[in-house]
Structure 1
Amino acid sequence: MEFELIATDPETGARAGLLHTAHGTIETPIFMPVGTVGSVKAVMQEQLKQDVKAQIILGNTYHLYLRPGTEILEKAGGLHKFNGWDKPILTDSGGYQVFSLSANRKLKEEGALFQSHIDGSRHLFTPESVMDIQRSIGADIVMAFDECTPYPCEYNDAKKSMEMTHRWLARCFQRFNETEPKYGYEQSLFPIVQGSTYKDLRIQSAEFAASMEADGNAIGGLSVGEPEQDMYEMCELVTGILPKTKPRYLMGVGTPWNILECIGLGVDMFDCVMPTRNGRNGMLFTTEGVINIKNKRWADDFSPIDAGLDGGSSNTYTKAYLRHLFAAQEILGLQLASLQNLSFYLHLVKEARKHIIAGDYGKWRREQMEIVKRRL
């Protein structure tokens, strides 16, 4: 994998780049739709390409390990062949999912012992096994196994967790380097920076991650309940340490305004379930502001869902029709809302890239912040 830095905004730290992978080149900054179990909820692969214009999607190690399992994935020839997505894929290590199972998991130096949310069966994730699973999945970019701390978190707990994450990281790289890709193309392993909201820990973790000289680096443990300003502060601190020549991925973030802010702090890659999850609940992110499509005011609004987007379902269907689908509890409504939100997110980062290259990202971001937070 190779990262080309094309432009840096003179006012902010915003970057535009090209990330070359075995399954294609990604234009950064980029938002990555989340396909936890190998599927972006309610959206077909063709729609991801044509309507959303997605360049890379996510899969999740924890979920894919439990179902369909590595045996099926290997028989298929990897996740790309299994789900029919021929562009780049990134897989999370499952660390966050194991963290979310706090009532049904036990952490120790060896790894994380947890119970399946599907059938209660017990499993052990170690740094080594997680690398092996991600080799079987075959994602272009794979994540190191880490422990994600909750917010708030006591300093000593955050320090202890970070230190174990670092020891696990060293084991991840050892296993990764002593194994080979299964499907004839290279994979890249990203370390994950932890340290909660403590500056000294974040600095230490960022320096440790940078010392691995990986193809890219991820920032974890944010957007887990901390105030937005704390997230921005930690993000700025970490991006100031991570190598400028490598892509920076902020995990699990976030709202459109979070993304605009963090692009300005030098982040290149984002993912979040918010566009599809909020869409399925009737919240639409549009080029004019945020809409609750269930509100009665849209019942006779026959304007396009979002005229500000190019083509696709956002221009084909009206707000009145989409509201009707939600009122009638039609599955198509969930699909169209998911498509709208994902299309908007990809549109937003594409426009951000244009303005970074043009050198006026700071001015454009200030204007967009007012729009993306507007409630219609």
Structure 2
Amino acid sequence: MSVFTYQCEGRCSHTEARAGTFTTPHGPVQTPRFMPVGTLANVKTVTPAQLQTTGAQMVLANTYHLHLQPGEDIVAGAGGVHRFMGWNGPMLTDSGGFQVFSLSEMRSISEQGVTFRSPKDGRIINLTPEESMRIQMELGADVVMAFDECPPYPASWEAVKVATDRTYRWLQRCMASHQAPHQALFGIVQGGVYLDLRREAAVALTALDLPGYAIGGVSVGEPPELIEKIVQAITPLLPQHKPRYLMGVGTYREMVRAIAAGMDLFDCVIPTRLARHGTALVAGERWNLKNARFRRDFAPLDATCPCYTCQTFSRAYLCHLIHAHELLAFTLLSIHNITELVRFTQRIRDAILRDRFAEEFSPWLTSELPEI
């Protein structure tokens, strides 16, 4: 019997939203759930102990970046990525496929794989499906992602077709080379903004009966309405008894609407990136704490938030830290922002279990709220 299971525990009677539990060797993940990004085996400016207080259950790391620094052999020598970074909960590693998109000026693609020039020392890096699996097996995360080609936006149907077909062939090679039963290999549905290619990919991937499925290649420059259209069309094609992961999405509106379509897991760098720019996520809004109005505001950032930041410090103090260029500001705002997005998805989960999701989150579902 697989060590990975997904159990649906509640459904919305008005949408496709669902609440469930994804079981992994390092513990359960209650869905829907936002997952913080720890690219280099750390969530920026936050310790694992602090991260645990946010309610985060699953954390991401990146295969490509850990291959460059410090190297998967060092991570494996430490006992795997969990022990290396001091995080005892579930972890997921991206395959390096996103770097096929983001580092387009530094790579070349062939049927064999992708050749990168290292931004650190200029050396040539050949990343193939087999190499991605080897690295991820050494890193030892609970969930590993198939190596895929993420096409840019905009791109022609013909170009996206080539990338989507190649992604399927690469997935077959990933499956053949992945030999770690304690890891769940997720397939990634690509296809750009072309629904026919997305549907074709989803049908082909689900026939392979993988432990989980992701929708990738969104949030690469296309407008939010196209992302929503893709998610609504493709999510129903993914298996009901497997976890569903929408890659690279972590804004309020996009998560609510994707959950309404039946998605379970989300990741994004937004909470820590905003923190490093002095911005807090509060009740669905973005607050720029550099603004003068916060200089003498001695209220907590959010009186309803249980995080260490809100329970201990005032808006005035956070404003002071930012203007003083104190690094503590990044930590305190990161703790709050991660807590906010995790709590947001936890509130959605609770509403689904009470069958109140459509009512309690109707403003996000029915109105054209600004994207945040």
Q: What is the TM-score with the length of structure 1 in the denominator?
A: 0.95
1:224 aligns to 2:226 (yes or no): no
Tell me which residue corresponds to 1:213.
Answer: 209
Alignment correspondent of 2:29: 26
Instruction: Give secondary structure in 2 for the equivalent of 1:240.
Output: helix
- AA at the equivalent of 1:64: L
1:258 and 2:254 correspond = yes
Residue 278 of structure 2 corresponds to 282
Residue in structure 2 matched with residue 110 of structure 1 by the alignment: 112
Is 1:125 the counterpart of 2:139? The answer is no
Provide runs of 4+ in structure 1 moved above 6 Å: 369-372
Answering whether residue 9 of structure 2 is matched by residue 9 of structure 1, we say no
1:71 and 2:73 correspond: yes
1:174-185 map, 5 Å? 174-176=176-178, 179-180=179-180
The question of whether the paired residues in 1 share the 8 Å contact of 2:12 and 2:357 is answered with: yes
Retained in 1: the 8 A contact 2:307–2:336?
no
Residue number in structure 2 paired with 1:196: 192
Q: CA deviation at 1:290?
A: 2.1
1:352 maps to 348
Q: Write the letter of the residue equivalent to 1:207.
A: V
Structure 2 residues without counterparts, runs of 5 or longer:
none
Aligned to 1:55: 57
Which sits farther off after the overlay, 127-136 or 361-370? 361-370
1:235 paired to 2:238 = no
Could you say if the C-alpha distance between residues 16 and 231 of structure 1 is closer, same or farther in structure 2, counting changes exceeding 3 Å? same
| Contact in 2 for aligned 1:257/1:372 (Cα 8 Å) | no
2: distance between equivalents of 1:220 and 1:313? 33
Equivalent of 1:162, from 161, 164, 171?
164
- Asked if the contact 1:62–1:97 (Cα under 8 Å) also holds between the matched residues in 2, the reply is yes
Structure 1 position 100, deviation (Å):
1.1
- CA–CA separation in structure 2 for the residues paired with 1:307 and 1:374: 24
DSSP 3-state at the match of 1:191 = strand
Q: After superposition, where does 1:264-275 map in structure 2 within 5 Å?
A: 264-275=260-271
TM-score by length of 2: 0.96
- Structure 2: which amino acid aligns with 1:22? P
Q: Tell me whether 1:303 sits opposite 2:299 in the alignment.
A: yes
SS in structure 1 at match of 2:121: coil
CA-CA distance at 1:78 after TM superposition: 0.5
C-alpha distance in structure 2 between counterparts of 1:201 and 1:321, whole Å: 51
1:320 aligns with 2:310: no
In structure 2, what residue type is equivalent to 1:133? I
What secondary structure, in the 3-state scheme, does the structure 2 residue paired with 1:16 have?
strand
Instruction: State the partner residue of 1:42.
Output: 45
Residue range with higher mean Cα deviation, 28-37 or 364-373: 364-373
**Is residue 366 of structure 2 the alignment partner of residue 363 of structure 1?**
no
Give the letter for the 1:365 counterpart: F
For the residue of structure 2 that corresponds to 1:231, the secondary structure is helix
Q: CA deviation at 1:370?
A: 9.8
Which amino acid letter does the alignment assign opposite residue 252 of structure 1?
G
The alpha-carbon deviation at position 154 of structure 1 amounts to 0.6
- Which one-letter code corresponds to 2:52 in the other structure? K
Instruction: State the identity as a percent.
Output: 43
* Cα distance between partner residues in 2 of 1:367 and 1:168: 41
Q: Deviations over 1:319-370 (max 9, x none)?
A: 1110110000000011111111101000000000000011010111124679
The CA deviation string for residues 49-105 of structure 1, in whole angstroms up to 9 with x for no partner, is 12x111010000001111110111121110011111110000000110232111110
Cα distance change on mapping 1:103 and 1:348 into 2, 3 Å:
same
What is the distance in 1 between the residues matched to 2:256 and 2:125?
39
Tell me the secondary structure at the aligned position of residue 302 of structure 2.
coil
Given that residues 38 and 60 in structure 2 are in contact (C-alpha distance below 8 angstroms), is that contact kept between their aligned partners in structure 1? Answer: yes
What is the CA deviation profile of residues 170-202 of structure 1, one whole-angstrom value per residue up to 9, with x for unaligned ones?
Answer: 1000111xx246xxxx11000000000101000
* Cα contact 2:249–2:255 (8 A) shared by 1: yes
How many residue pairs end up in the alignment?
A: 369
8 Å Cα contact 1:285-1:372 kept in structure 2: no
Q: How far apart are residue 118 of structure 1 and its match?
A: 1.4
SS at match of 1:290: strand
Contact 1:289 1:373 in 2 (8 A): no
CA spacing shift, 1:311–1:147, aligned 2, 3 Å: closer
- Where does the alignment leave 5 or more consecutive residues of structure 1 unmatched? none
**Amino acid aligned to 2:129:** P
Change (3 A) 1:191 1:288: closer
What letter matches 2:256 in structure 1?
L
